Amino acid sequence: MPPPSTTSAVASLPGDESEIARTTIRRVTVRLLPFLFILYVFNYLDRSNVAIAALQMNRDLGFSAGAYGLGAGIFFVGYVLLEVPSNILLARVGARWWIARIMLTWGLIASAMMFVRTPTHFYVLRFLLGIAEAGFFPGVIYYLSQWYPARQRARAISRFMIAIPFSMVIGGPVGGWLLGLDGLLGLRGWQWLFLIEGIPSIILSAIVLAYLTDRVEDAHWLTGEQRTWLAARLAREHDGSASTHGLPSMQVLVHPLVWLIGLTFFLLNTAAYAYTFWAPTVIGEALHTTDAQTGLIIGAIACTTAVAVLVVGASSDRRNERCLHTAACGIVGAIGYVGVALLPHPIARVACLALVGAGFLAYYPALFCLPTMLLRGSAAAAGIALVNSISNVGGFVGPWFVGALKDATGGTAGSFLALAGLGVIAAALCLVLQRQMASTAR
């Protein structure tokens, strides 16, 4: 027997604190979040493992700081170019097939990074990796918005996004260990790192097809009552969302509020990815550690980042507030960069990197709730992808800027102070964003 229609269910919809609400969200969480978490661990690992590989690869291939920074950042050029069309396609063909396609192609290209020999090889493969990965993260954010009501969304996103620091927790030590395979079967350690870390994504692409469910109505792992409640709850929320939700996909791409969210993301992401791709180098130069020791330190710092992501996500949901949480993260990250740039003691500078990681990665769950609060359907997919595209221009600018300035000045202090300034500007924009969101909701 088919479940009752969504329309008839809305009138008698139980509240979010009811037993059916709690059991439904719990089952959705157990079913989806651990698996999506694993996917994102390998996604982030395959895009950022070049930071650990650089400890050995740059010496072997003679890459300058500028060449490495450009190659690390050029990933985001390909990523940004295909972000919006990829997410629109995901909304049309379904998350299951599209995420599987993304994972297969990125896994193959990530492993092919072992064949890099020249800066040109490096740039081309990083660019292609960006094209392959385009749409994964915004696709998952859009996908979660189809399963979680807004009041539970930041917590869900934070649990998904601790995959970023967790990938560093395992990626640092494992990457350091893989570099230790140097010379095995005639391959350098960094080649083993790229080869081995790309393979799990290829395997997981097949599992995605069997495991993910595109729509609530098709979720046979929920009871009929749970499917009815969740579909009705999401329908009521969509019907009552802000006025922009009815915009066509292409019109969303020029909406000022979407661009304001994207600009805030851009500033924070520029600082975040500069940290991601340069932290191992900063640690190695400051403490004169081995590759394995550097990996362990990166892993330890990432543990504090994971805690910060969870705390910010839970606090943002509990207070139903997004902008001030993001602003606070920007200020914390800025303080960290000032410490890294100016403190004389190497251990103090490395300790400040923990503030940088916590500040410039923990804001994601709060800020990424805003597009899903404003938009729905294909407009939401396009809006989320646009915001992520704008933000990931920072993924190119941040690593390149640090590398170029290091080649020019011989140090990183100037670039880190500039990145701290971006955090402060982003915090100020969050206050503007808060007022604009409040005005839109009225």
**DSSP per residue over 197-257, as a string?**
HHHHHHHHHHHHHHH--S-GGG-TTS-HHHHHHHHHHHHHHHHTS-GGGGS-HHHHTT-HH
Q: Of 177-186, 284-293, 306-315, which one has max mean pLDDT?
A: 177-186
Residue 86: Cβ within 10 Å count: 24
pLDDT average, residue stretch 173-198: 92
d(CA 205, CA 250): 30
Kindly state the average pLDDT of the residues 127-148. Answer: 88
Integer Cα distance of 295 and 422 in angstroms: 27
pLDDT tens sequence across 317-357: 888 888 899 999 999 999 999 999 999 899 999 999 999 98
Q: Looking at 91-95, 120-124, 417-421, which range is the least confident one?
A: 91-95
Output the pLDDT for position 1: 41
The domains of the chain, with CATH numbers, are 15-441 (1.20.1250.20)
What's the rounded mean pLDDT across residues 405-416?
87
What pLDDT, on the 0 to 100 scale, is given for residue 2? 43
Give me the percent of the chain exceeding a pLDDT of 90.
Answer: 38
Q: Indicate whether this model's pTM tops 0.75.
A: no
Residue 64, C-beta contacts closer than 8 angstroms, at least 6 positions apart = 403, 407
CA distance 384 to 137: 9
Give the mean pLDDT of 53-63. 92
What is the predicted pLDDT for the residue at 10? 41
Please report the pLDDT score of residue 227 as a whole number: 92
**What is the dihedral sign for C-alpha 317, 262, 363, 41?**
positive
Helices 95-112 and 119-133 pack at an angle, to 10 degrees, of 170
**Model confidence at 16, in pLDDT bands (50, 70, 90)?**
low
Tell me the pLDDT of the chain averaged across its residues.
Answer: 85
Distance separating alpha carbons of residues 266 and 264, to the nearest angstrom:
5
**CA 367, CA 437: separation in Å to the nearest integer?**
12
d(CA 145, CA 253): 19
For the chain, give the longest Cα–Cα distance: 71
Whole-angstrom distance, CA of residue 191 vs CA of residue 183: 10
The confidence band for 145, taking pLDDT boundaries of 50, 70 and 90, is confident
Classify burial at 400, counting beta carbons within 10 Å of its beta carbon; exposed 0-12, middle 13-18, buried 19 or more. Answer: buried
pLDDT at position 134 over 90: no
pLDDT of 118 higher than 90: yes
| 9 pLDDT above the threshold of 50 | no
Q: What is the pLDDT of residues 200-253, one digit of tens each?
A: 999 999 999 999 999 899 999 999 999 999 999 888 876 655 444 445 556 667
- Taking CA atoms, 381 is separated from 3, 367, 371, 424, in Å, by 27, 16, 9, 29
